[in-house]
């Protein structure tokens, strides 16, 4: 047991000293919460919004998915986000909007609740690199109004 703790501590130290910003994954259990939707249990990978913003600035291939209503989106949204309302998420729509199931997708809504449900749905569809970044109500970075 002591050896496992020493090895894990060394690995964590190496990651932080080396300047590597670790993204939460199911494997390392950072910022992972349990959420259930209809018999499906999946680990929800959440990402701090500060880290999400940094990653988006460095990687323009990250896809932002807004799962709120069209009215909410028009009122305020994160630039370059794609709107797919929670009730419209299905295999056909997602393959049109985001055909690459390996793409990195950051999901948000108003407060983080709908994005958790959307995460579950996308996970079940086979999207592998999905992160819940919570709600726009706590997003302190650039936003825009309109379509």
Q: Hey, which residues are catalytic here? A: 109
Contacts of 82 (CB under 8 A, 6+ apart): 63, 64, 65, 66, 97, 98
Check: CB of residue 44 under 8 Å from CB of residue 132: yes
State the Cα–Cα distance between residues 70 and 92, nearest whole angstrom.
19
Of residues 141, 9, 137, the one with CA closest to residue 72: 137
């Amino acid at each position: 047991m002591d050896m496992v703790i020493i090895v894990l501590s060394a690995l964590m130290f190496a990651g932080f000293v080396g300047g590597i910003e670790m993204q939460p994954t199911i494997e390392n259990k950072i910022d992972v919460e349990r959420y259930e939707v209809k018999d499906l249990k999946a680990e929800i990978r959440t990402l701090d919004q500060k880290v999400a913003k940094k990653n988006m600035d460095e990687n323009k291939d990250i896809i932002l998915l807004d799962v709120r209503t069209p009215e909410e989106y028009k009122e305020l949204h994160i630039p370059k986000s794609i709107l797919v309302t929670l009730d419209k998420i299905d295999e056909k729509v997602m393959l049109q909007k985001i055909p690459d199931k390996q793409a990195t997708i950051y999901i948000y809504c108003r407060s983080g609740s709908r994005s958790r449900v959307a995460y579950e749905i996308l996970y079940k569809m086979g999207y592998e690199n999905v992160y819940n970044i919570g709600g726009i109500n706590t997003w302190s970075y650039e936003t825009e109004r309109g379509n």
